[in-house]
Amino acid sequence: MKRFLFLFAILLVGCAQPPRPVRLVLQPTSTNIYPSYFASWLGFYKEEGVDVEISQVAGAAKVLEAVVGGSADVGGGVYESTLQLAAEGKSIVCFISLIRSPNFAIIAVPGIKSYSELRGKTIGVTSAGSPSQAYLNYALKMAGVDPAAVSVANIGVNATAVAALEHHQVDAGVLFGTAITSYLARKPDAVVLADTRTIEGLRAVFHVDDYPASCLLARREWLDANPDAARKMARAVLRSLGWIRAHSAEEVLAKIPQEARIGDSAMELAAIRLAQPIYSIDGRINKESAEGVLAILGLKSPTVDVANTFVNFK
């Protein structure tokens, strides 16, 4: 009998399947999402006991598509998406916030000096319907310009966005992170119409001091079925946030693989230094900040309960 039980136990062990890696989809590297990449580069996911498999897509809209469609378990997206989908009756949940600002700038090509001069012009956004377009629409309205008075074009992020401006494919663009410093270094006479890379700039655009933006998000059913994996991922990313804040920009840059860098080192360093003070300290979202984002987006749906769009792990 003992021999039978021993053989049965061996059989069970042999048949046991290792847990499937968490499929994490991210946008191309930028300061907004560095913490999610750093958790892998620094080995924090592994140390926390979660196997994470990273894939990359272009733009927040594609990230959301992968998460909603089920081809990814977790996405490096933006908090606004959880609210927009909640208005449609879908439940996508943010479980760690990376940064306290969208960290974007709206920059016009040399010669254009105000929002009013953008009427009839083409403005670049990462992709149509993305949060970058929502930021643009809000800024235009606050400046008294009807968003319908401009055209939008998809310019992606990083190098493609900078190239679109340099080659005058667009008259202005919504840029993020290193793309901002890179373009301004090349075109110092370009006009910055909005800049949320600092709390002062964030306040000037949105009149708030805390705007949850880049985050990790997942379908509610995945979170309910995998709370341990989500908690471990959140801890790993929180550790990377702390590591980035605690080290010099030069030390941070040294940990970024060469193939993941955008532009030259000087531009990267400038972008990192600007981002460090606005990275989240605790990864949490509070209800007041969530309601502020809801108001900025102009969502009126009574079905949106912000408390259902985020979870703060202990």
CA distance 65 to 100: 24
Whole-number percent of the chain with pLDDT over 70: 94
Segment 133-191, tens digit of pLDDT: 989 999 999 999 999 999 999 998 888 999 999 999 999 999 998 889 989 999 999 99
Nearest to 234 by CA among 249, 242, 72, 272: 242
CA distance 133 to 30: 18
Mapping DSSP onto H, E and C, the string for 112-143 reads CCCHHHHCCCEEEECCCCCHHHHHHHHHHHHC
**pTM of structure:** 0.85
Nearest to 213 by CA among 269, 166, 275, 125: 275
**Of 37 and 128, which is predicted with more confidence?**
37
Segment 226-265, tens digit of pLDDT: 999 999 999 999 999 999 999 999 999 999 999 888 778 8
